[in-house]
Structure 1
Amino acid sequence: MFAPPPQEQARLFAKLPEEFCLKGRSSAWLFGKRNKDIGSFLEGPVLEADGSLLVADIPFGRIFRLTMDRKFHCIAEYEGEPNGLALDRNGRLWIADHRKGLLSFNRDTGKIRTELGRLRRQGFMGLNDVQFHSNGTLFFTDQGQTGMHDASGKLYARRPDGRVELLVDTIPSPNGMALSPDERTLYVAVTRANQVWRVPLHEDGSTTKVNIFLQLSGGYTGPDGLATDEAGNVYVCHCGMGCVWVFDEMGWPKRRIDVPDGLDVTAACFGGPDMKTLFILESSRGAVYTVDCPAAGNPTFAQGALEGS
């Protein structure tokens, strides 16, 4: 439908050192993975105020801090499967844990707290990602093992007063999320359908007329993590294709950013001194890549929790 966009290659920024690689250790989360002895699987990058990145290691229950001198520091390790991460304005880290539900981590005390382990006595299928709105609402996806065979994946909204609302319950594998600059649209990666959905956010907190924003193809998995910039461009990490696609707000393809080693490109976020560097995770290899995005601007809205949670 569209001509291929310009293609470029990301550059290696840092790689998880061998001392943190747990090859030989088993994890139930690795069920169905082609390689069950990968030693780590990094996900959910989120930017800290000092420019460092926090990333999760799903199968082994770890959270790392990657400083801009390219060093990894393990700041938490627990019996869980952390996936998506988000910071609130108080610096508390919220965790979408595939096994334990919605958690938070207090950096000062080092304590992991269960915020929502189940909903109305029923457990989740397996949470995947979290995203703050500047009004304090926390969106989270419940993916589990859903897919085209079982379109029962869910999108929830946790309001500032603690109320939890189910927004959509017919998603075949809801994954990463990102907000548009005006925060009136939530983009949701729908991995097994190879799609990105557009979820309108109304003033009363409801959503209607959810539609398909992008229909992708290829790869062995599908779109995973998402990011947006202040111009409204949507950055789609295509797991199984080893690249990040960049589309404008109308869905026109603008760029294709390839990772030189590995296909498990799962997540990305903006950072750097001017917020114009895209940090990209290749999860299976524990690697972080970067690419310059000079037209990206400062996507402060993407850190909505830092401003208004």
Structure 2
Amino acid sequence: MAVTIELKFKKICDGLDGSEGPVFNTKGDFYAVAPMPTLEDGRVEEASQFLDKIAGNLHKVNLDTGEHEVVCTPQFEGYGGRPAGCQSDKNGNIWIADMRLGILKYSPEDGKCQQLSKVDSSGNALNGCNDLVFDKDGNLWVTGPGSPIAPSAEDRTLIFQKPSGRLYFLENGNTIPVAMDETFRFCNGIAIRDNLLLVAETMTRSIIVFDVVSSGKLSNRRVWATLPKADYDNPMNVGGPDGMDFDVNGNLLVAHHGGGHLEVFSANGVLKTRIKCPFKQPSNLHFKPASRTCYVTEHDFNGVWEFEWECEGMPMYHFTSQ
């Protein structure tokens, strides 16, 4: 039976509307995204984020002072972005999964943002993209829970009530991803360990796992773990696994959005520890390289928090030697 623990969380900053996508790049800089605009009354209006020309932001965060600055506000062809997930490549560029614009790449060196991918290899518009991870060969795996990206209007019924989520594979060096022959009920966070690819399916509270049998080829889909039930305090009663990250011992730490915990699963998918959070809606997490310090984003205070875990995080692709 899982043990619930309380660790010391320290708030680094707040004010990142819809705080998501925590990541370190190879320069040692920390970034997070604010996908949702704030209305004059201070509320985050979920529907308004999808209006034309409303753009979320990529922030660079000073972890010592809590200060953060907008370094990128993606907008293409008159449509604003909703950046959701981030990863770094070996050159320190930030790759962004965007719910309105597809797959983006931001270069800290010149401050420019590119819209790399809008369609898949079959010519179909990408689903709005939520999270992404590099494998050991520098290939990119991307979750797409949303309805098709701009200029299509968002279809919330399609996103939340139907198995319309897609999984994409972008081969190293290419810009056109391949859509896997798989569907999900809101595929969300994504992680990889050795030859296992894990995908969070939020609406079923499940972690789905695949065997990666060769480059861009998956087999043996199965449920690897299921999150505990929780009282999801929102009109749609929606919650479940969001972003996730491995530690060096092979444990998977999962942000339980709406559940108020980080759920820790053993290497074989057994829930072993529940980390109680000082907020209800953790959205993602990311380890500082070669460190036990873990950074968590959340939607109650729209902040970034840190805590110390029992071991270091598993090194990401961009911090491993090849």
Query: Common fold, TM-score beyond 0.5?
Result: yes
Q: Structure 2: which amino acid aligns with 1:11? A: F
Pair 288,270 (structure 1): closer, same or farther in 2 beyond 3 Å: same
Match of 1:237 in 2: 255
Distance 2:32 2:69 in 1: 10
1:62, distance to aligned residue in structure 2 (A): 0.7
Distance 1:204 1:264 in 2: 35
Unmatched 5+ stretches in structure 1: 22-38
Q: Work out which of the residue numbers 76, 81, 103 in structure 1 matches 2:72.
A: 76
Instruction: Answer yes or no: is the 8 Å Cα contact 2:97–2:103 preserved in 1.
Output: yes
Distance 2:301 2:8 in 1: 15
Distance 1:243 1:236 in 2: 8
Q: Structure 1: which amino acid aligns with 2:276? A: D
Match of 1:108 in 2: 109
Q: Structure 1: which amino acid aligns with 2:19? A: L
Instruction: Answer yes or no: is the 8 Å Cα contact 1:85–1:130 preserved in 2.
Output: yes
Q: Structure 1: which amino acid aligns with 2:128? A: G
1:259, distance to aligned residue in structure 2 (A): 1.6
- What percent of counterpart residues are identical? 25
Instruction: Answer yes or no: is the 8 Å Cα contact 1:103–1:113 preserved in 2.
Output: yes
Pair 271,204 (structure 1): closer, same or farther in 2 beyond 3 Å: closer
Instruction: Answer yes or no: is the 8 Å Cα contact 1:134–1:308 preserved in 2.
Output: no
Q: Work out which of the residue numbers 218, 229, 253 in structure 2 matches 1:207.
A: 218
1:75, distance to aligned residue in structure 2 (A): 1.5
Match of 1:198 in 2: 209
Instruction: Answer yes or no: is the 8 Å Cα contact 2:26–2:88 preserved in 1.
Output: no
Q: Work out which of the residue numbers 143, 148, 166 in structure 2 matches 1:154.
A: 166
Q: Structure 2: which amino acid aligns with 1:292? A: E
Question: Secondary structure at the residue paired with 1:41?
Answer: coil
Q: Work out which of the residue numbers 174, 178, 181 in structure 1 matches 2:187.
A: 174
* Higher mean displacement: 240-249 or 47-56: 47-56
Q: Structure 2: which amino acid aligns with 1:154? A: R
Report whether the alignment pairs 1:263 with 2:280. yes
Give the TM-score normalised by the residue count of structure 1: 0.84
* Higher mean displacement: 89-98 or 120-129: 120-129
1:148, distance to aligned residue in structure 2 (A): 6.8
Summarize deviations over 1:216-250 as a string: whole Å, max 9, x none.
Answer: 22242111001101211000100001110111112
Question: Secondary structure at the residue paired with 2:2?
Answer: coil
1:308, distance to aligned residue in structure 2 (A): 7.2
Q: Figure out how many residues of one structure are paired with residues of the other and give that number.
A: 279
Pair 98,173 (structure 1): closer, same or farther in 2 beyond 3 Å: same
* Higher mean displacement: 249-258 or 109-118: 249-258
Summarize deviations over 1:112-157 as a string: whole Å, max 9, x none.
Answer: 1110012244222311011111201100011014567311211111
Give the TM-score normalised by the residue count of structure 2: 0.80
Distance 2:28 2:138 in 1: 22
Once superposed, what is the RMSD of the aligned Cα atoms? 2.1
Instruction: Answer yes or no: is the 8 Å Cα contact 2:117–2:177 preserved in 1.
Output: no
Pair 109,50 (structure 1): closer, same or farther in 2 beyond 3 Å: closer
Match of 1:54 in 2: 31
Distance 1:214 1:95 in 2: 27
1:204, distance to aligned residue in structure 2 (A): 4.4
Match of 1:26 in 2: none
Report whether the alignment pairs 1:65 with 2:65. no
